[in-house]
Structure formats: structure tokens, C-alpha cells
């Protein structure tokens, strides 16, 4: 095949693939098999590989393939992206209509009703029919350039059916099923779950690596025109139909209605049908159809006067509460959780709901076997809103909190002024287990690979009883665990090793001393500099510190006096865990922290540096405003690799993270900081 023939074939293939992308992802009406489609795609990829000069920016092979970005570029919106005023009931909707009719002065008023998709507002700019820039809303005036990620969404046309120059606005979202699959996958890997599809969509679109964004199934509905040159349609209805004919996916549930009664009917219908949709909505958007009239009405500073959002309340569902499970947390608090008959709610299947504490159970009059209304607030775990007492059959059983700890059977207490019941046995295994989960968590010692499931297994096998035991773990111990291969075991040991060089405040926070959060830990570390000094501090001395209240002071003094704590700290020290505050330079370095390229960056150190120790390097980095962590993850911005760097270097390369050698590191230090 010569270049000319290849060119013709590539063009033909692009057109075929585009058409089938459109049929599949926009019209939801595929006409060829996936195999056939893949074959065309492979043929095009081969052609573009053989004749690189044939590659075009709008080729369907370019949906994924860009390199990870160092950060998102800012883009100014040609027309500001406004938000919408909200109404919550029929009355407020009618008031909106009154304002519109007044402005119309007798002209007929038609509205377009659309579903309010619960996703992320995006702007798509096309130049001569080709996708040019895709951006987030940002603050409405300036957004972020996420073109690479938006290209991975198959329903975003790379080339329009007419060579027009325009900007469209739409909503990117994650369908409910994709969201459930993603969370199931994350759960199996021990990764934190997304609370709702909107957060998942936002997280995906903000991935700097487009390959990661491409792994998430996102979709887009286009709902309006932004900036545009040339002739505009006269109505929103016509604009949407035109956008649809250009190849955009426009929501099929839109309706143009006469007057506000039609709107109210639409709102009521969709309030009912909302759970059946394959994506989440949080209301209905009502827009004036006549674009001239829109212009006359204009905007307030934040939102247009010609449109309004009717917001639905948080989705609720009814199910049966079968049981109440009790769990003991790190601080000994016993928390009740409702075990429910599985029920669909806002895109997920719900089996558990939070009950918070005994007072809530009593206040709501909850009995075992009750029908209850559950609702999702912003969390993954929903809450029980109320009991449907009218559904009681007489078979329901009352519930009372136990008197003894469900794990260690020691007597539970209710501390003065608290609603929670607590187990105060310091040897309670549940508390120890939760304490370890806290110790290894990201904000504390950040030991990746030690999720809840692994910790539970280590506990059950008796391999770990307290945090100090973690540092005695051997490879043989780890590979004996379920779903733990050689590789993960090595990674885990490396993460444990790395955690030893973290600064004192991480350790202090990780120990889980009552009332000592990340902030108090930092204050203490900064003041005392070394664990030994903190251990000797008296309660009075602690109280005298600014930012340390009497509650924290008493708790720290009491904690440090315990013999078992002393023993734990001795063992941690022996294992090589750093006991010093490493951010000391932060206060003494005079070089501008702000202009340092390292400020705000998450940095990992690996290998041996010739000019300083790893601890010194970590201190230096922290003093420049960097956040030094022990292991490489997607969150890492920079890896500084000394001699004999190993697996971390490989991982960073794989994730496309910026890597500096020692020389580059030293060169990037502000003047006067280098040792």
C-alpha cells in the first residue's frame, strides 16, 4: 500500500469509526458487532503506525494516548459559566413564572424542561468543526483545560457533522452502573470509595494521566450553547435539536411546554421516575425557550433570570431493618449500624445504615424488624431517617445497647457529658485493631498496602497485636496471608521501611492519642522536637502551650505515663522509627518557601544521596513546603532518586511521575539552602 492509498483508507476508516461511535455512544443504537468495530480500529492504528504522517488530531485513535500532564492549564471562558438559582417547591416555581411573564409583557411563554444531571459542568470548544478545548467550569470565569480527559469520553464528538466554530456547555457524569463497578473494584483493592457518582466523575476528570481517566466510564449530555459566531437559532428547542444534529448527545427526556403548568407536570413525573434513570439527577432545569426574550431578561451577577433549577430532595428509600450490629472503634466508642434488606438508593445497593449512637436509636424509636426510611447525605453509608410505625405487625423486637463490649466483654461506660458508650479496656483487641488501621492510614504513617482486610488478617493470625509488631513482620508472615503475593509483600515491607523516616508529627498522630489530631500532633512535634522530650512533659507544661487545650494536655500526659505506651515507643525506636521533628528547617530557613518549585508538592525520596542523609533531605524538603511521603502513588508529584534506587523508581516510571536525580534536586533548591 502506498501513502496515497493509505491516506484514503485511513480517512475512510475514520469516518466509519466515527459513525459507529456516534451510533453506539450518542444514539445508543449500535448496528455492528464489537468485534467488527475493534477490527476497524486496529486497522486504523496499524496504518497510523506505518504512516505517522497520516495521524490527525481528531483521529479516533487519539481518544487515549496523551502523556500525563504536570498540571492543568487555565483557560478563560469566552462567556462566563453561570450557575442557576434554585427553587424547592411549586410556589417558588410560580413566582419565577410571574417574573418571566412580566418581562414577556403578554408574549406567549414557552419553557424547555430538562433533567438536572448530577455531574460536572464542562465547556467544549470547536474550531471549524474540530474539538479544540474542553474545560471545567472552575470559578465560572476561568476553568481548567481537561481536553485530554474529555476526549476519552466516547460521546464527545472529536469532529462535528458541520465545520462550525462554537462553544457548547454540558454536564459530564458517571452512569450509576459504572459508579457501582468502580467502587466495587476500589473496595476489592482496599482503596477509599467515592461517596457518589458526581465525586467519582470529578475525580476522573481531574486525573492528570488521561489513561487513568479513560479507565473510568464517563458520559456527557450537552445542554446549551456557549459562545458562538454567526447565526443563532431563535429558540432553545431549536438550538438543542441543532446540537443533536451536529453529533452531540442531548438528553432525550427534554420537553418544550406551554406555561408553568406543563413545567409542574414534568417536575412531578420525574420526581417519581427518577430512580429508574441510569444516571443521577438532582432536579429539573426550567429554561425560557425564546432566546430574544432571554437576552431582554439578562442575568444577575451569578445566574440567569430566565432559568431556574427545581431541586429534588436527597433520594430516599424504604427497607426493613433486620439487625443492629455493634462495632468498637479505635477510641473504644461502640457504634451501632443498621443491617438492612438490600435496597437500591441513588445509584447503589444499600445494606447498612449509620445509627450514630444509642440516643438516636431511642429518639427515633427504632425496633428490630421495622420498616425504615433511609437517605444518603453526602456519605457512602446512608442514615436512617425515620421509622414507618404504621407498617408494624407486632413482630418487631425492641433493641437495647449491650452492657458489655461485644469484642472483649468488659463493661461499657458512658463518660460524663458523652452520648457514646465506650469500652475502656486498654487491651480490647477491637480497639487495638482499629488503632493499627489508623496508624497506617494516609495522614499518619501512610503505609500503602495495609488496608483494613490485611490488618484484620494479621490480627486474627496473631502476627500483630500492636503497632510496634508491624515492624517485626517478615516476608514469610505476609505471604501466608490471603491474596498477598510475593510482590505485594515486598511492596508492603518497603512501605513499612519508608514510614520509619517520617517526621515525628506523623507518628504522634498515628499513635491515636485521644484528642490529638493532625494539627495538635504538629504543634507538639514542633515544640518538643523529640519524642523523649514530649514523654517527659508534664500536664501543666503542655497546657501552657498555645493551641494545646487542657483536654489535650491531660490526655497526652496520661497516655505517655502508661507503661505499655513506653514499651511501644521503645520498640518503635529500636526498629528504627524516626522520633524527631524533621520540619525544623521550616522556621529557620529564610529562603522563600513560596517560590520554591517544591512548595505544596508531594515528594518521595529513594536511594542513597551523597550530599545528605535521607532524613536531612526530608527535613529540607519539608522546610520548603513539600510534603514528604514514604511510598510512590498516583498522588506523588516528584520522586527524588539517589544511588541504588529500586522499586520506587520503577513504580514512579510506570506512573509517569517526574523523577529528579540528586544533581537536579540540588539545582532546584533555593539559593542559600543547599548544604
Catalytic residues: 116
DSSP string computed for 458-479:
HHHTTS-SSGGGGGG--HHHHH
249: left (phi over 0), alpha (psi -120 to 50) or beta: beta
* Closest CB to ligand IVH among residues 153, 649: 153
CB of 203 to ligand IVH, least distance (A): 16
How far apart (Å, rounded) are the C-alpha atoms in residues 376 and 316? Answer: 7
CB of 246 to ligand IVH, least distance (A): 17
* Closest CB to ligand IVH among residues 82, 343: 82
Selection from 278, 256, 285 nearest residue 170 by Cα: 285
Q: What is the CA radius of gyration of the chain?
A: 30
CB of 137 to ligand IVH, least distance (A): 6
- Site for ligand IVH, rule CB under 6 A: 82-84, 114, 116-117, 121, 137, 171, 223-224, 285, 304, 307, 309
CB of 223 to ligand IVH, least distance (A): 4
How far apart (Å, rounded) are the C-alpha atoms in residues 109 and 307? Answer: 13
Which value, to the nearest 10 degrees, does the dihedral of the CA atoms of residues 543, 545, 551, 552 take? -130
Count Cα neighbours of 307 within 13 Å in the Cβ-side half-sphere. 25
CB of 588 to ligand IVH, least distance (A): 46
Going by C-beta distance under 8 Å and a sequence separation of 6 or more, which residues neighbour residue 52?
A: none
User: Which residue of this chain has its Cβ atom nearest to ligand IVH in the complex?
Assistant: 121
CB of 32 to ligand IVH, least distance (A): 31
* Closest CB to ligand IVH among residues 114, 358: 114
The single-letter DSSP state of residue 249 is -
* Closest CB to ligand IVH among residues 233, 656: 233
CB of 130 to ligand IVH, least distance (A): 24
625: left (phi over 0), alpha (psi -120 to 50) or beta: left
* Closest CB to ligand IVH among residues 273, 409: 273
Going by C-beta distance under 8 Å and a sequence separation of 6 or more, which residues neighbour residue 221?
A: 117, 170, 171, 173, 249, 250, 251
Task: Count Cβ atoms below 10 Å from residue 462 Cβ, excluding itself.
Answer: 8
Count of H-run helices and E-run strands, the chain: 25, 22
* Closest CB to ligand IVH among residues 71, 301: 301
Q: Are 269 and 257 in contact (CB under 8 A)?
A: no
* Closest CB to ligand IVH among residues 287, 371: 287
Task: Count Cβ atoms below 10 Å from residue 219 Cβ, excluding itself.
Answer: 23
Amino acid at each position: 500500500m502506498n501513502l496515497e492509498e493509505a491516506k484514503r483508507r485511513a480517512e475512510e476508516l475514520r469516518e466509519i469509526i466515527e459513525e459507529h461511535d456516534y451510533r453506539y455512544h450518542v444514539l445508543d443504537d449500535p448496528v455492528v458487532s464489537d468485534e467488527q468495530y475493534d477490527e476497524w480500529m486496529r486497522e486504523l492504528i496499524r496504518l497510523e503506525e506505518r504512516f505517522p504522517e497520516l495521524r490527525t488530531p481528531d483521529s479516533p485513535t487519539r481518544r487515549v494516548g496523551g502523556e500525563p500532564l504536570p498540571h492543568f492549564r487555565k483557560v478563560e471562558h469566552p462567556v462566563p459559566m453561570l450557575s442557576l438559582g434554585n427553587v424547592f417547591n411549586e410556589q417558588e416555581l410560580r413566582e419565577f413564572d410571574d417574573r418571566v411573564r412580566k418581562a414577556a409583557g403578554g408574549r406567549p411563554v414557552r419553557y424547555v424542561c430538562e433533567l438536572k444531571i448530577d455531574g460536572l459542568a464542562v465547556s467544549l470548544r470547536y474550531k471549524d468543526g474540530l474539538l479544540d478545548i474542553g474545560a471545567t467550569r472552575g470559578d465560572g470565569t476561568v476553568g481548567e483545560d481537561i481536553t485530554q480527559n474529555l476526549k476519552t469520553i466516547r460521546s464527545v464528538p472529536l469532529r462535528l457533522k458541520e465545520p462550525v466554530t462554537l462553544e457548547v456547555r454540558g454536564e459530564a457524569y458517571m452512569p450509576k452502573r459504572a459508579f457501582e463497578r468502580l467502587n466495587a473494584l476500589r473496595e476489592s483493592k482496599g482503596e477509599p470509595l467515592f461517596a457518589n457518582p458526581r465525586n467519582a466523575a470529578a475525580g476522573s476528570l481531574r486525573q492528570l494521566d488521561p489513561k487513568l481517566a479513560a479507565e473510568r466510564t464517563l458520559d456527557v449530555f450537552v445542554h446549551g450553547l456557549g459562545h458562538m459566531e454567526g447565526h443563532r437559532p431563535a429558540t432553545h428547542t431549536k438550538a438543542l435539536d441543532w446540537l443533536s444534529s451536529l453529533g452531540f448527545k442531548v438528553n432525550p427526556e427534554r420537553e418544550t411546554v406551554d406555561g408553568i403548568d406543563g413545567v409542574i407536570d414534568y417536575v412531578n413525573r420525574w420526581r417519581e421516575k427518577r430512580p429508574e434513570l441510569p444516571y443521577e439527577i438532582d432536579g429539573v432545569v426550567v429554561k425560557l425557550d425564546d432566546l430574544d426574550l432571554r437576552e431582554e431578561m439578562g442575568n444577575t451577577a451569578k445566574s440567569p433570570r430566565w432559568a431556574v433549577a427545581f431541586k429534588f430532595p436527597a433520594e430516599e428509600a424504604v427497607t426493613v431493618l433486620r439487625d443492629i450490629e455493634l462495632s468498637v472503634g479505635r477510641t473504644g466508642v461502640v457504634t451501632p449500624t443498621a443491617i438492612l434488606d438490600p435496597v437500591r438508593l441513588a445509584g447503589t445497593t444499600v445494606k447498612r445504615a449509620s445509627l450514630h449512637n444509642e440516643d438516636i436509636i431511642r429518639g427515633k424509636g427504632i425496633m428490630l424488624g421495622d420498616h425504615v426510611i433511609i437517605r444518603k447525605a453526602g456519605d457512602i453509608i446512608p442514615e436512617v431517617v425515620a421509622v414507618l410505625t404504621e407498617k408494624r405487625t407486632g413482630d418487631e423486637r425492641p433493641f437495647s445497647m449491650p452492657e458489655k463490649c461485644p469484642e472483649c466483654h468488659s463493661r461499657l461506660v458512658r463518660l460524663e457529658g458523652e452520648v457514646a458508650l465506650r469500652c475502656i479496656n486498654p487491651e480490647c483487641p477491637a480497639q487495638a485493631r482499629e488503632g493499627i488501621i489508623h496508624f497506617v492510614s494516609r495522614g499518619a504513617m501512610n503505609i500503602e498496602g495495609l488496608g483494613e482486610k490485611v490488618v484484620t488478617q494479621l490480627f486474627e493470625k496473631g502476627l500483630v497485636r500492636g503497632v510496634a509488631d508491624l515492624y517485626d513482620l517478615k516476608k514469610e508472615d505476609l505471604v501466608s496471608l490471603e491474596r498477598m503475593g510475593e510482590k505485594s509483600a515486598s511492596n508492603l515491607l518497603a512501605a513499612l521501611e519508608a514510614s520509619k523516616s517520617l517526621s515525628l508529627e506523623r507518628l504522634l498522630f498515628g499513635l491515636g492519642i485521644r484528642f490529638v489530631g493532625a494539627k495538635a500532633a504538629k504543634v507538639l512535634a514542633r515544640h518538643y522536637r523529640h519524642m523523649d522530650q514530649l514523654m517527659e512533659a508534664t500536664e501543666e507544661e503542655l497546657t501552657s502551650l498555645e493551641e494545646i487545650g487542657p483536654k489535650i494536655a491531660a490526655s497526652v500526659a496520661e497516655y505517655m505515663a502508661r507503661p505499655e505506651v513506653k514499651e511501644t515507643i521503645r520498640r518503635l525506636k529500636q526498629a528504627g522509627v524516626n522520633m524527631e521533628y524533621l520540619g525544623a528547617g521550616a522556621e529557620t530557613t529564610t529562603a522563600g518557601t513560596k517560590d520554591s518549585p517544591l512548595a505544596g508538592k508531594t515528594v518521595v525520596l529513594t536511594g542513597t544521596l551523597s550530599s545528605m542523609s535521607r532524613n536531612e533531605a526530608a527535613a529540607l524538603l519539608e522546610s520548603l513546603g513539600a510534603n514528604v511521603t514514604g511510598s510512590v502513588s498516583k498522588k506523588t508529584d516528584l520522586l527524588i532518586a539517589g544511588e541504588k534506587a529500586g522499586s520506587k523508581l520503577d513504580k514512579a516510571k510506570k506512573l509517569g511521575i517526574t523523577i529528579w536525580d540528586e544533581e537536579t534536586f540540588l539545582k532546584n533548591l533555593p539559593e542559600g539552602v543547599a548544604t
